[in-house]
Amino acid sequence: MMTTGFALAGVLALAACSDAPAADDGDANAQEQSAEAGAESPEAGAEQPEMPEADTSDIPEVVAEVNGEELSGEDFTVLYESQFQQMAMQSQISGEEPDQDQLKEQTLESMIGNELLLQDAEDEGYEASSDEIEAIISDAAENVGMESSEEFIEAYEDQGMDEEQLRQDAESQVLINQVLDDLEVPEPSEEELRELYDEAVAAQEDAPSPEGAEGAEEDEMPSFEEARDDLETQATDEARNEAAVAHVDDLRSDAEVTTNL
């Protein structure tokens, strides 16, 4: 369940599709190698499967009401199409069609969860400063490879949106983040860290050896002590996510939620 990131998810998708820079050298090299491999393959001329399209024909004007607040079909569509695009790209590799009904349900639950968190933030009196709002926009710009907030805002406006709405979305994100940051999350125990480390070691041992590259060597696994900081971060992130899901569940148990999908 996605409990954060909804407010700017659609913005990121729009910006990435419009003015985001081309892939970096690593991606470009990978694409070039893939193209060369395809040219040498006997099936190079075979037709590639068509990219599936998102079906939003059944999306109502209001997809849900949360404690009297309406969640619009327009906002739902932006988020859904963003999520669907990622799944569609994966389907080109796996050959499996995305389950649109399931994805729509997940998208709606994400929206409801974020609205509950936002209402909780307002009830608790959280406030978003201008610096915090600017930081959210700056991070969003960086995530799609843009050099500045101004460039990101310009891309947003090129999609027919306005800067005021962008800043409102960023403000909502700040408030949601404040709620999640204040959740009590226990420090990971030594046993939990050891378990995570053992899982990482096992995963590396099961991973296939690199092929096609002379002198390719398997990366050496760091010791437990060397990996401790990363393990603590991973364990804390997992615990924070579990706490967020539990908090949304608590909020929803006391909320009036009506869905229209």
Indicate whether 215 belongs to any domain: no
Question: What number is the average pLDDT over the span 217-235?
Answer: 88
Q: How many domains does the chain have?
A: 1
Which pLDDT band holds residue 205 (cuts at 50, 70, 90)? confident
Q: Is there a domain that residue 130 lies in?
A: yes
Q: Which among 4, 32, 1, 7 is positioned nearest to 165, based on CA atoms? A: 7
Whether residue 168 is contained in a domain is answered as yes
Looking at the whole model, is its pTM more than 0.85?
no
Paired strand residues for 62? 72
pLDDT higher than 80, residue 34: no
Inside any domain, residue 134: yes
Per-residue pLDDT of 43-54, as tens digits, reads 444 556 677 788
pLDDT above 90 (res 256): yes
Which range of residues forms the domain containing residue 159? 126-182
Domain membership flag for residue 167: yes
pLDDT at 24: 43
156 confidence band (pLDDT: 50, 70, 90): confident
- Collapse the DSSP code of 174 into the 3-class scheme (helix H, G, I; strand E, B; otherwise coil) and give the result: helix
Q: What share of the chain has pLDDT > 70, as a percent?
A: 77
In a domain, 177, yes or no: yes
Q: How far apart are the first and last CA of the chain?
A: 18
Tokens at residue 94, please?
């796996």
